[in-house]
């Protein structure tokens, strides 16, 4: 607002003198009203006085006086009711009726202001919710649509006429229907938009009110495209690096074999070059594997019933070989009758990675315990527990990121690529499992993988649990 216009606005005088004048006017107005009321009472006493002067009893005179006053009050109350029905014509009324009307005007004006403010707030909230780019749908306990915004109409192929209908009757995608039926709260669903198969959606369900739910959908098509570009770039670069690295490693091996002085400077340089080329080759191989895990979906034909006791015995044996002279104690606690439906090659890679990490980061003579059991919910659980150096809590959320290392120098010394746990995470996701990590510094860590109960199988076994066993 321009300053010139602001200067023309008359602001109320809030000085002590002005407040005193305002209070004085109110007092005078109230005094005038009460004088009018007293005058009305005196006028009501006139008929009683006349009756008393004509020889009537004083009790009859008093009764006549109050009867006249009561009739005047009744008349004013009737007029007040008429004014209320007419919703206040604005005429000024004095006396008791004026006080009541004034108070009612104030209450009504305050109520109208609050109602207008609430309506304006609701309109602004409605406009804001309708303009949100994410789909928002309010669902009843029966999954009926109670409200939806414009983005929901666009992303979920719904219309405002669908209010009152069950959403699972409108979106017939089996994945979506199963997601709702299994309890969508707290779980994220990614699937194609019903109206456009080229759009990828990210759905989640949040509690809304006492018994309602809020379905929120986000268009993640652009994010998926960026991820696709990144994955293609990594895959292409890794593929192009594989051949020159293989050639380089071959020449270095030839030079090492031809070097006669194994204690000389040249031999040390060639050995270091060969080690680094091998490390680079492992990084390329891990990048290619990670790219394949990210871009391809697991084919059901590769899933099979896996004898986990046999698999974990192999992993424990390999871990003992990796331990070598450090003589770690590798222990198995396995339920031999519990099998798992999964992809053998991927599970062997992921579980081996977890156990081998435990060996690498546990001092010599430490204990690594491998567990395989079924919890109280019927879910198969794999655990790798060690007595190693532990992990600080601030590092745990980022452990499965690519190339994230807690101690870079230590990881390079032990030949790590920084991609192992990222590969583990994607293998676990492909098996609908969840990875939990708990750790305490200088006390050890526990890596726990929980699989869905639907992937468990029971096979006849001589015993339900295997005792503690040292892998030889």
Domain extent listing, the chain: 3-120, 132-219, 224-295, 300-470
pLDDT at 471: 39
The full DSSP string for 304-369 is EEE-HHHHHHHHHHHHHHHHGGG--EEEEEE-TTEEEEE-HHHHHHHHHHHHHHHHHTS-TT-EEE
Write the pLDDT tens digit of every residue in 357-383. Answer: 899 888 888 899 999 999 998 999 999
Q: What is the pLDDT along the chain (472 residues), one digit of tens a residue?
A: 343 333 433 444 555 566 666 666 777 766 676 677 777 667 766 766 666 666 666 776 777 677 777 777 777 777 666 666 655 455 555 555 666 767 777 888 888 889 898 888 888 877 877 777 888 888 888 888 988 888 888 888 888 888 889 888 888 888 888 888 776 666 788 888 887 878 888 888 888 877 888 888 888 888 778 777 777 777 777 777 778 888 888 888 888 888 676 677 888 888 888 888 887 887 787 777 777 777 777 777 788 999 999 999 999 999 998 888 888 899 999 999 999 999 998 899 899 999 998 998 888 888 999 999 999 989 999 999 999 888 888 888 888 888 777 765 555 555 566 788 888 898 998 888 999 999 988 889 999 999 999 899 988 754 433 333 343 3
- What b/e sequence results for 69-84 when a residue is b if at least 16 CB atoms lie within 10 Å of its CB, and e otherwise? beebbeebeeebeebe
pLDDT at 167: 87
Cα 157 to Cα 161: distance, rounded to the nearest angstrom? 12
Provide the whole-model pTM.
0.54
Topology adopted by domain 132-219: Beta-Lactamase (3.30.450)
3-state SS, residue 81: helix
The full DSSP string for 172-226 is --HHHHHHHHT--BT-EEEEE-SS-TT-EEEEEEEEETTTEEEEEEEE-HHHHHH
Reply yes or no on domain 300-470 having CATH 3.30.565.10: yes
The answer for 272, left when phi > 0, alpha when psi is -120 to 50, beta otherwise, is alpha
Cα 96 to Cα 144: distance, rounded to the nearest angstrom? 55
Cα 444 to Cα 384: distance, rounded to the nearest angstrom? 10
| Sign of the C-alpha dihedral computed for residues 381, 382, 388 and 391 taken in this order | negative
Residue 170, Cβ density class (10 Å: 0-12 exposed, 13-18 middle, ≥19 buried):
middle
Per-residue tokens: 321: 């070989």
Cα 342 to Cα 378: distance, rounded to the nearest angstrom? 17
**Residue corresponding to tokens 């676990």:** 428
φ, ψ of residue 386 to 5 degrees: the values are -130, 170
224-295, which class in CATH? Answer: mainly alpha
**DSSP H helical ranges for 86-173:** 95-131, 150-155, 167-170
Q: Distances from the Cα of 89 to the Cαs of 248, 384, 467, in angstroms?
A: 100, 83, 93
């Amino acid at each position: 607002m321009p300053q010139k216009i602001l200067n023309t606005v008359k602001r109320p005088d809030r000085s002590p003198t002005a407040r005193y004048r305002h209070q004085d006017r109110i007092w005078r107005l109230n005094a005038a009203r009460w004088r009018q009321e007293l005058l009305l009472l005196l006028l009501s006493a006139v008929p009683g006085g006349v009756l008393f002067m004509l020889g009537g009893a004083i009790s009859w005179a008093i009764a006549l006086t109050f009867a006249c006053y009561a009739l005047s009050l009744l008349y004013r109350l009737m007029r007040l009711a008429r004014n209320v029905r007419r919703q206040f014509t604005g005429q000024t009324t004095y006396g008791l009726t004026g006080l009541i009307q004034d108070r009612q005007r104030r209450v009504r004006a305050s109520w109208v202001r609050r109602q207008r403010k609430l309506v304006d707030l609701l309109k602004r909230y409605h406009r804001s919710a309708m303009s949100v780019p994410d789909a928002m749908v309010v669902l009843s306990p029966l999954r009926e649509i109670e409200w939806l915004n414009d983005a929901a109409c666009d992303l979920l192929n719904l219309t405002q006429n669908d209010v009152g209908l069950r959403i699972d009757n409108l979106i017939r995608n089996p994945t979506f229907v199963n997601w709702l039926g299994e309890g969508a709260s707290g779980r994220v669903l990614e699937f194609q938009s019903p109206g456009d198969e080229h759009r990828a959606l990210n759905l989640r369900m949040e509690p809304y009110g006492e018994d309602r739910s809020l379905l929120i959908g986000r268009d993640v098509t652009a994010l998926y495209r960026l991820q696709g570009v990144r994955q293609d770039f990594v895959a292409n670069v890794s593929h192009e690096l594989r051949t020159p690295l293989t050639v380089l490693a071959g020449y270095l091996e030839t030079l090492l074999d031809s070097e006669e002085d194994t204690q000389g400077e040249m031999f040390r340089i060639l050995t270091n070059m060969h080690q680094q080329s091998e490390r680079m080759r492992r990084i390329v191989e891990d990048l290619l594997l990670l790219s394949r895990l990210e871009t391809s979906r697991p084919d059901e034909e590769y899933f099979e019933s896996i004898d986990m006791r046999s698999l974990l015995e192999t992993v424990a044996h390999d871990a003992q070989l990796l331990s070598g002279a450090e003589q770690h104690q590798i222990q198995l606690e396995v339920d031999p009758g519990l099998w798992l439906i999964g992809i053998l090659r991927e599970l062997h890679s992921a579980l081996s990675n977890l156990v081998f990490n435990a060996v690498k980061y546990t001092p010599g003579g430490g204990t690594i315990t491998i567990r395989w059991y079924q919890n109280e919910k019927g879910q198969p659980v794999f655990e790798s527990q060690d007595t190693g150096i532990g992990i600080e809590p601030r590092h745990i959320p980022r452990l499965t990121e690519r190339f994230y290392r807690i101690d870079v120098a230590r990881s390079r010394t032990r030949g790590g690529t920084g991609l192992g746990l990222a590969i583990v995470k994607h293998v676990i996701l492909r098996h609908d499992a969840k990875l939990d990590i708990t750790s305490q510094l200088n006390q050890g860590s526990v890596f726990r993988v929980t699989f869905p109960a639907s992937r468990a199988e029971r096979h006849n076994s001589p015993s339900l649990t295997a005792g503690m066993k040292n892998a030889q």
